[in-house]
Structure 1
Amino acid sequence: MSEVLPSVQAYRFGPFRLDVSSRILERNGERIQLTPKVIDTLFVLIGNRRQVVTKEALMKAVWPDVTVVESGLTRNMSSLRKALEDGSEEGSFIETVPRRGYRFVAEVTEELLVSQEEPVPMEVPVAAPRISRFALRAGLTLAALASVAGLAMVFRPQPATTRVAVEPSVRIGEHLLYKLAPDETVRAAEHFERAIANNPGSASAHAGLSISLLSLSMLGVRSMQDVLPQALTAAKKSLQLDARSSAAHYAMGSVHLVSEWDFSRADAEFRKALALQPESVQSRLGYARLKLTTGDFLGAQQLVEEALRLDPASPPLGTEYCRVFYYQRDFQRAESECRKVLDREPGYGLAYYYLALSLGSLGRLPEARQNLKRSSLMPGVLEADYAWLSLREGDRRPALAVLEQRRELVRQGKVGAIAKLLPAAILNRMDEAYEALEAGVATKAPEFLTVAIEPRLDPIRSDARYAPLLRRAGIPSAKR
């Protein structure tokens, strides 16, 4: 018998209680009359509490199937503030972040209800892993993390014809995915599991679960071999429930791309997703990731530009645009695009990261080091990047130290051999680099998907083993 899963019955903040299933907001036990869209707005803000939610993201979440003007959101926020703040100018619950959006700043507690029924078996750990576990996975590259951004980017199902009681769990799961954090991604998977337990016929919940499981693997929380069976089952179930769901085809395309390396089937699924929902941002981004992986830079650039026309303020999209130019070795354009993201979203770590790589490639090493630090990403991820900068400055010692550290982690079984790739490649240790590459092919490591395009791996490409290895992996050489 599987463990009984506690689900969130309500959220409490100050004198307020927001019931998840009934979608009722109470103040000191008395119901507050709010329209469904205002309640939706509150759920989105609470699901992203302590994080800035842009106006564009709010409008897409609350009105997913229609185009609305900003004044509609302004009216919603005014009604919500009136209910929560009781007329105060800028109260203790919702903060306005000028030119960016809104942030729910109050402390929130979750009121849990343990179901007496047998839940759907849950393979995702209920206890969120500590961040240090993520840092330990030294083999994770930011290329893999950026792919998680693509997986989670504004992940939104097709608008349902009827609204069901589990909708808050699905919506909160979607927004937790957007945060790109291990703990929050575990919580996202839990919300999708709860939604499925309450409504097994929810195609959206199954698609979301599939994406969250893939994200857990790429964030280093679980192995791809561990999550693939359930991720594939969830994606197939989503399609079975609604074959016309763009989100279901997007989830299946992501499974084919990230875990199976089946690029032709991934291509077909992303095309179907776009045909079913031509305005889909996430399907364009998924398709762009496929194009990048296979070295079709112009195809990737076109798809990201189309997505940016639909969502011009999105930090993940803007950073993906920067990545396209970084991989094309147009480092000055990559720098420019990353700076545009940071002008809009000063705390977006991935933009600082790719800005640092672009500056390092341009030889502006002190600036690169400063921006790498500003990314505030995990030391276990960044140590090889700092070593690369030191090597460009003429100091081999950090790269040698990182390589030795990762050898030890591989010996202990804590990371895969692919973790040695970058330090071995930049040190021109070709035999060790190819040992890492062979391991990456054998395990279908997500980090391998950028081997054909990552500029810092150029030293491996003159080796006679390179072309046969790519052919075995099914990855074409980049089109330059």
Structure 2
Amino acid sequence: MSKQINQIYEFGDFRLETAEQLLLHRGQPISLTPKAFDTLLVLVQSSGHLVEKDELMKRVWADAFVEEANLARNVWALRKTLEDDNGEHRYIETVPKRGYRFIAPVREVASADTGVLIQRRVRARIVSEEEETSEEPQVRTKPTIPPGSVVETRGPMTALSLSTPRNRKRRNAALGLLAIAILIVAVAIPTVVIRNARSGSTSKTIESVAVLPFNNLSNDPELDYLSEGITENLINRLSQVSRLKIIAHNSVFRYKGKQVDPQKVGGELGVQAILIGRLEARGGELSISGELVDARDGTHLWGDHYERKLSDLQSLQGELAQDMASALRLQLSGEEKTRFGQGYTRNAEAYQLYIKGRYFWNKRTTEGMKKGLESFEQAIRLDPDYAAAYVGLADCYGVLSQVGDFSPNDVMPKAKAAALDALRIDETLAEAHASLAMIDELYDWNWKSADTEFKRAIELNPNYATAHHWYAMYLSAMGRNDEALAEIRRAEALDPVSLITDTNEGWILFCARQYDQAINKLQATIEMDPNFANAHYKLALVYEIKGMYKEAVEEHRRT
């Protein structure tokens, strides 16, 4: 036994007790790894002052050499624990390129005792960290009990609990055996413990995932394109795995900027796991964190934190996707590995222009298409072999041909040329095949080529919801109604809350002369969003064919 001063610090609703290595929130203990606790203690004791990264690492990992990523991961975990990871930080402030500062007011509380007795106890909780292969038994305090005090026991009195010399020996022997047993378990079954966030994986089978829009913590709307770009990039990479169902961008976009319940979202989207991400950009520095949650029971499956330069964004996304694949224990074929790791350009500026172009394209407005074209063209000027940027051009021109401001004869040939340029550079790009198929169908009326290109797109990326959607509309136009319905429902499974996909299932039912089913589907879509004009317009057409003219007029008024 030895004596140790119990220093107590209070900040916000939290209380930090050094002797117990305990963090309390409104009186309730919060679990922290020992190194996370040490990191918090150093920051709190230096409250209001900058703690350089090197100094912080020396004080927390005094006898070991570790990478800076370990420190960043601890800070990320602390912010999550302190609920300090949404928007402007209230507790731990990052000083770019230098370190961290604890910015909340801290009050040091005098302990009731000048010293407390320290007794080593074994905790039945195993926590592992990247730099540690085993954990020493935690030090817990045992307060001195004044004579005559009444002590509440946590269980029934037993012979072993009586304080006699003989029983003390028996108790110490039992505790020693328990410590040895726990250490044996920790060594014998390391796969039970997630040794660190980067190599963590789940033993549960995950066959479907939704990547929710990354939360932009920078408080700068101009950087929204970054968070959306990272989200879409991860969706595209993971969708290359044929055995994994990935929810499309349209369905996850509705959760942007919202606090979500993973289990509720999982039920709404029909997936087993949810990826929740956060992004913060300051100057040329980028901080990204991701957490994979089992939507079936809300358990944490994997998480990591990354700090890179903004110019390293594309390689970082590849690393993040690979880490997720490892956590999900995905077995990738050789072709899938190649497509999974594709970056398409080595030019960092061109890549940022590309994701900015996709951000504007997703707005589906004339102004958005124009800005998207400008961004894609700039990206191509920086990298003439950037295949994905050519697909962006084709998609923008395709939308502009349908909004009424541009003649199809002016923009569709440009769209086709861009799609062909993309395929000349990379024949395995599913999006390029889908874009070319859409042009073959709607502009060239080359039905055979359209069918071939749609099938090739789906073969390359079975999770590409847009390809299934467009192919369903093509099949409907060809009168292949059963195939069209099967295909649109595959698109809905990948994009379960997409208003346009649901609306077009109603349209396919209408073309198949299943009018009552079409009405039911379109009414259900309108219930999701009463302001979605396209659904009202198509429902009006169904009412007309049914001779329900009063209802048809009412629906036309709502378009």
TM-score, normalised to structure 1, is 0.48
Higher helix share: 1
Greater C-alpha radius of gyration: 2
TM-score, normalised to structure 2, is 0.42
